Amino acid sequence: MKSVPDIFSYRQYWARRFGAAPVLPMSREEMDALGWDSCDVIIVTGDAYVDHPSFGMALIGRLLEAQGFRVGIIAQPDWRSKDDFLKLGPPNLFYGITAGNMDSMVNRYTSDRRMRSDDAYTPDGLAGKRPDRAVIVYAQRAREACGDKPVIIGGIEASLRRIAHYDYWSDKVRRSILPDAKADLLVYGNAERALVEIAHRLARGTPVSDIRDVRGTAYMTSDIPEGWTVMDASSVDHPLRVETYPNPYHAEAGCDRSGQETGSEAIIHFGRIRERVDPDRTVMRLPSYNQVARDKVRYAHASRIFHMETNPGNARALVQQHGKRYVWLNPPPIPLSTAELDRIYELPYTRRPHPGYGRARIPAWEMIRFSVNIMRGCFGGCTFCSITEHEGRIIQNRSEDSIIREIESIRDEAPGFTGHISDLGGPTANMYRLKCKSEVIESACRRLSCVFPDVCSNLVTDHKPLVDLYRRARRVRGVKKVLIASGVRYDLAIRSPEYVRELVTHHVGGYLKIAPEHIEPGPLSKMMKPGIATYDRFKKLFDKYSRAAGKEQYLIPYFISAHPGTSDEDMLNLALWLKENGFRLDKVQAFLPTPLAIASAMYHSGKNPLRKVSHDSEDVAIVRAAGRRRLHKAFLRYHDPVNWPVLRKALKRMGRADLIGNGKRHLVPAWQPDGGRGGQNKRLAPQGGRRRASGRSTVGPGGWPRSRSTR
């Protein structure tokens, strides 16, 4: 991995003399109390301001403050005019624009494109406090307010829309968010390293138009700079022979078991062309916006190329034409070191909402107020997930000492703490300190997942550092219980039975959520998830150690309906598996195509970007019609009487009327209760265990919910 300066090694800006603010100001009155006449940076966010490191505006704001800058927050402004964007005055350096911790469209709409009734990131959960496509709207209003000030966009919404992307809500390919937002720069991924460098350059008087070499940034340009080798994306997918440079589309690409170091230059042969290129001065040309908007196969191909260029160790710059201009993406940022991550998470956060919100509830904060983030990133590569596109595949870890200090801080300072840490985790629960055995191999690798189709032999899967962390966290004075709420990657956990024993014995509060997502090989192969046999192996360990601890504990599995590659028969088989294992799901997740995700490219194109893409390449079955999407969700909630009519109709169409009846072997009963649901529906414990409600069984003959009448 390339060497970069520590983000805390910059000389602090002169405004450091003001010291750290008790809370970053949201009004001129607060600025006056701090002695500020202006802000150097103003962060505009679609979330309520919570001064906690799990909230992006707080983390970036406190980091820039530590660099000596005065940072103000404009949270959930009225976007209908520019007035709110001027309430702190113009920034001296730049506006930083983010939609918040979620993409604004995901935040506002369900997978059925219905508007959500609440917003967990808003005081009292009120909906409607942010606009659709918030980054674009906020950036345009900031430009109206102070047209001469740089506008820099970032956060997950900007990250996932940095090139031409399929937009589920408009059902079309939209161009990069950069030209729509009219922003000067876009920072993608974990933006700390990029924003610190940009802020210091602007403070030294460098025009924003001259900042073109910062990793993890994107910008609009009229031409390709001199000295760069332009490589067309179509050539990369059809190499005849490659010397020293790893084939990016080989299943084990970059995972040289010998660990032999590759050269800094590569000789690549395309047909009769022999070209020596410097990877650091090579830009990959993606199909243009017009091409991917018109041709779904080209879109899938562009998605494939994009995801192969995400490893900071070998990624090249990308360029995509939009009309007469280009979107230029510099390579991804170099991951933060443990020391850098520790300092970021130990900045002087209050760990609570801005006092201006009074006693209003902010549900997202209440959920994580007693949790601790121990790592970033995910190398699972699940195609439906956006973590990889945003945080990257390389795990960034905090030190054990830093994590323990945060637990002690929660114990001593967090209001309402009762001794229970709600989570030690991150994107996953158990990737802490897992990494490739060789930095050389890691820097050359272009695999999309370290665990699919099987765990890579070069991946170190030792969970001992995590077990040691759990044990030390439990010993902290005043801590009664440490729970693990982040999802456990069970294909890794079974590699370390000692970890499973530790987890099950001490850190499960009766239920442990886990995400097999499906049981059938068709959809699982498109998700890049392990087979159900791996889940069964984990369950055996879970049950074994639960019994040894004398505890009655259950796994709560999560599944996705209507994912690309899923057939009606696949969902039927999943429903039968759920019934056989005694699961009754209260809530289900329908596939939601988020921008840039590989599964979203499948959904839009009907092609599989996990393999070489052409008009004749593998077609992927897509569940697009609303009726079929409802059917797939109904299979997951086979026990709900509301779903029985549609399931009976589908079973007859599929030739499986034998599954309709009142016996235990049937999936749905032949009778229908009056009044719809016909009684309460509670989740059954696995393996036939049943709950009771109000002392009365809610389960009738054949395992169906009781009803006042049966027909």
* Residue ranges in the chain whose pLDDT is less than 50: 238-274, 677-711
d(CA 626, CA 140): 35
Would you say the C-alpha torsion 646, 650, 651, 653 has a positive or negative sign?
positive
The two three-digit tokens of residue 418, written as one number: 């009762």
Residue 272: per-residue pLDDT: 36
Torsion of CA 636, 641, 642, 648, to 10 degrees: 70
Helix (H, G, I), strand (E, B) or coil at 559: strand
DSSP label at residue 281: G
Instruction: Give the pLDDT of residue 30.
Output: 98
- pLDDT, residue 249, reads 38
For helices 296-308 and 598-605, angle between their N-to-C axes, nearest 10 degrees: 170
User: If residue 319 lies in a helix (H) or strand (E), which one and from where to where?
Assistant: strand 317-322
How much is the CA Rg of the chain, to the nearest whole Å? 26
Q: What pLDDT is attached to residue 276?
A: 62
Dihedral of the alpha carbons of 349, 353, 358, 364, in degrees to the nearest 10: -160
- Residue 547's CB: how many other CB atoms inside 10 A? 12
**Contact status, residue 164 vs residue 322, Cβ threshold 8 Å:** yes
pLDDT at 711: 26
Residues 322 and 329: beta-carbon distance below 8 Å:
no
pTM score of the predicted model: 0.89
Please state, in angstroms and rounded to a whole number, the distance separating the CA atoms of residues 42 and 70: 9
d(CA 16, CA 39): 12
| DSSP state for residue 140 in the 8-state scheme | H
Query: What residues does 151 pair with on adjacent strands?
Result: 95
Q: Which two three-digit tokens encode residue 348?
A: 């002087």
Tell me what pLDDT residue 388 has. Answer: 83
Count CA atoms closer than 13 A to 470's CA, side-chain side. 25
Beta carbons within 8 Å of 45's beta carbon, 6+ residues apart:
56, 57, 73, 74, 75, 76, 98, 99, 100, 155
- Cα(459)–Cα(189) distance, integer angstroms: 23
What is the b/e burial string over 225-244, where b = at least 16 CB atoms within 10 angstroms of the residue's CB? eeebeebebeebbebeebee
Residue 605: what are its φ and ψ, rounded to 5°? -95, -25
Separation of alpha carbons 244 and 678, rounded Å: 66
What pLDDT does 674 receive?
78
For residues 517 and 57, what is the distance between their CA atoms, to the nearest angstrom?
32
Which DSSP string do the residues of 263-324 spell out, in sequence order?
PSSEEEEETTEEEEE-GGGEEEEPPPHHHHHH-HHHHHHHHHHHHHT--TTTPPEEEEEETT
Starting from the edge strand earliest in sequence, which strands make up the sheet with 241-243, in order?
241-243, 266-270, 273-277
What whole-number distance in Å separates Cα of residue 162 and Cα of residue 167?
12
Q: Where are the domains of the chain?
A: 16-222+324-329, 229-303, 370-507, 561-711
Which pLDDT score is estimated for 235? 77
pLDDT of residue 236: 72
CA separation for the pair 423, 71 (Å, rounded): 30
Task: Give the separation between CA 609 and CA 305, rounded to whole angstroms.
Answer: 9
Question: What CATH code is assigned to 370-507?
Answer: 3.30.750.210
Name the phi and psi angles at 370, rounded to 5.
-110, 25
Are both 16-222+324-329 and 370-507 of the same fold?
no
- Report pLDDT digits (tens) over 451-509: 999 999 999 999 999 999 999 999 999 999 999 999 999 999 999 999 999 999 999 99
CATH architecture of 16-222+324-329: 3-Layer(aba) Sandwich (3.40)
The kind and range of the H/E element at 43 are: strand 41-45
